[in-house]
Structures are given as structure tokens and as C-alpha cells.
């Protein structure tokens, strides 16, 4: 009797120290989803190759499992995608989903509009605070040439909360008496979350960036770059912080004046209705899965 391939379901064990809750994988249903992390893991297992935990985590961030999202539904992919998008933006965003939304937001602006701006990966600051990853992060930042930009967005995820750090006028010489002064903005949609507790890490971060870039300025001036925490619009619950940071970036790109006052943003900068409209717009820009 001939046994169909679909009946010969193969079970493969992960050759990795991954989540103990995942012990085996059926790779047959994933044959048409070869970019998902589960298929990658199953393929590596079939080759008898070990997949380190850090590599598996990287694949999870960059190669989500589309099969898991779609397998229980017969609806069209577009309808599934839209429903999923709406729910994601109204929940607490993890780093992977936040990063995908940020990419879509960034692409929505013209090159001329976003030319003075740059953003760093949303994982880099938290990775910097981990000692053995610090040098890697600084090397990655060095390739970005952030001192060529007027404004640099640094999303920060600490203590299960999203903040937005903005480097302003870092393209200026700190020792110049005529140029625009460098300063930093820290935007917090839940100001009881302890914005000022981040300041020591932020200052070490900035100082290490200057050292890595080989800047000639007096490093004592770097430690004195002002850090402002303006009173910006606040979230209404404990899950909106990621959406607020995305909207802070959006509004900053649209509103930042040529001569920037640190407090041009305030608690009345925008209303919640405008935030809801922004979420709906962001839902339509791309596929978050």
C-alpha cells in the first residue's frame, strides 16, 4: 500500500537550548512557508545542525510564522491581516512588531522630508545596557554616521515601557559659540514610569558614542549636553506606550521647526482622536504579522 506524503508526518526535535515548552516540530505543514522561523529550525534539525538559542531568537524576530496565524481560518489573507493589524496597535507592542511599524512609518515620508532625521534600531539601547553586547551596538551605530543628521530618534524599551529619546543638533560642534546647541529630548507617555531613572544610562550611551566616533570635542562638554523631559500627551491605559512613541516620531517629523525649542511639544501637542486616526493610517501602510 502506498502511503501518501501527507500521511508521513515527520517529527523533528530542536537541536537547541530553546524554550523548553517547544520540544518537537512537525515540519510538513510548513513546507509552503519556508521563510518562517519554525521551518528554518526544522530544516536545520534535518541537517543535524545545531541552532544556537541566539540564532533561533533572531529568526523569530525577523521570520514570523505565517502558518500559525492563518491555519485556523479560511478568510482571505487581506482580511486576516487587517484584523490582526488593528488589534496589534491597540495592544502593548513588542520589539519585533514595533520595529515593523516603524519601518512602515518611515517609508511613508518622502526622502526630502526625512532627510534631516534618522532612527536607531529599537533593540539597540537595551542591548547596549548589556555589557557583552555593548561594543557590538556601538560598532553598528558607528556605521550610521549619526553626527551627519540634525535629529536622531532612539526608541527605548525598558521596564515594559516605551520611551523616545531624540538627539538634537548632534551634527553641530559642541565647542562652537555660534552654532546651534546640542540637546536631548526624552518623551514619556507615562511620566510616572521614571523617565529620569534612564538618565545615567543615556549619558553613558552618548559618551560612548562620541568616543567610538573619535570626535575631537572635549568629552566634559558631552557630559553636559542638556536632557529635557517635556510634558507630552499621556496614554490612557497601560498598553498604549508603543503607539504613542510611533506617533511622537510622526508628529516630530511633521512639526519640528527649523529653530527648535525643546518645549515646542507640550501636553496639548495632540489629542487622542488624532492618535486614533494615526493608528488607522498606520494599519493601512503595510503587513504586520
Number of domains in the chain: 2
**Do 210 and 256 share a structural domain?**
yes
Give mean pLDDT, residues 114-122. 95
**Do 108 and 36 share a structural domain?**
no
| Conformational region of residue 221, where left means phi above 0, alpha means psi within -120 to 50, and beta covers everything else | alpha
Residue 18 has phi, psi (to 5 degrees) of: -80, -170
Using alpha carbons, select from 274, 240, 256 the residue that is nearest to residue 98.
Answer: 240
Using alpha carbons, select from 117, 252, 140, 159 the residue that is nearest to residue 205.
Answer: 140
Q: What pLDDT is stored for residue 25 in this prediction?
A: 43
269, HSE (Cβ side, Cα atoms, 13 Å): 25
The span from the CA of 61 to the CA of 31, in Å, is: 20
**Do 136 and 42 share a structural domain?**
no
Strand, coil or helix: 280: helix
Residue 58 is part of which domain span?
5-72
pLDDT in tens, 34-71: 456 666 666 666 666 666 766 666 656 656 555 444 44
Please list, in sequence order, all residues whose beta carbon lies within 8 angstroms of the beta carbon of residue 52, skipping any fewer than 6 positions away: 16, 17
Give mean pLDDT, residues 227-244. 92
Domain final position from 72, 94, 112: 72
Query: Has residue 77 been placed in a domain?
Result: no
Parallel/antiparallel/unpaired status of strands 227-228 and 183-187 = parallel
The span from the CA of 167 to the CA of 192, in Å, is: 22
Amino acid at each position: 500500500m502506498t502511503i501518501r506524503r501527507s500521511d508521513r508526518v515527520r517529527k523533528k526535535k530542536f537541536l537547541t537550548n530553546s524554550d523548553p515548552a517547544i520540544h518537537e516540530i512537525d515540519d510538513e505543514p510548513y513546507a509552503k512557508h519556508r521563510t518562517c522561523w519554525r521551518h528554518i529550525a526544522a530544516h536545520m534539525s534535518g541537517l543535524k545542525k545545531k541552532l544556537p538559542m541566539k540564532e533561533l531568537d533572531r529568526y523569530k524576530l525577523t521570520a514570523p510564522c505565517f502558518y500559525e496565524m492563518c491555519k485556523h481560518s479560511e478568510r482571505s489573507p487581506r482580511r486576516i491581516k487587517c484584523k490582526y493589524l488593528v488589534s496589534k496597535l491597540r495592544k502593548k507592542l513588542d520589539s519585533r512588531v514595533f520595529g515593523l511599524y516603524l519601518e512602515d512609518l518611515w517609508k511613508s515620508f518622502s526622502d526630502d522630508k526625512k532627510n534631516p532625521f534618522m532612527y536607531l534600531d529599537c533593540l539597540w539601547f537595551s542591548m547596549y545596557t548589556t555589557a557583552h553586547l555593548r561594543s557590538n551596538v556601538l560598532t553598528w551605530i558607528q556605521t550610521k554616521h549619526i553626527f551627519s543628521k540634525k535629529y536622531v530618534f532612539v526608541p527605548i524599551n525598558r521596564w515594559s515601557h516605551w520611551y523616545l529619546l531624540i538627539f538634537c543638533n548632534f551634527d553641530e560642534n559642541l565647542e562652537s559659540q555660534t552654532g546651534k546647541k546640542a540637546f536631548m529630548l526624552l518623551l514619556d507617555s507615562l511620566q510616572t514610569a521614571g523617565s529620569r531613572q534612564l538618565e545615567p544610562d543615556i549619558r553613558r550611551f552618548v559618551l560612548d558614542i562620541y568616543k567610538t566616533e573619535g570626535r575631537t570635542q572635549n568629552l566634559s562638554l558631552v557630559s553636559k549636553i542638556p536632557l529635557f523631559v517635556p510634558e507630552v500627551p499621556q496614554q490612557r491605559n497601560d498598553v498604549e506606550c508603543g503607539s504613542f512613541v510611533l506617533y511622537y516620531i510622526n508628529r516630530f517629523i511633521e512639526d519640528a521647526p527649523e529653530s527648535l525649542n525643546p518645549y515646542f511639544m507640550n501636553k496639548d501637542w495632540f489629542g487622542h482622536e488624532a492618535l486614533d486616526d494615526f493608528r488607522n493610517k498606520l494599519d493601512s501602510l503595510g503587513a504586520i504579522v
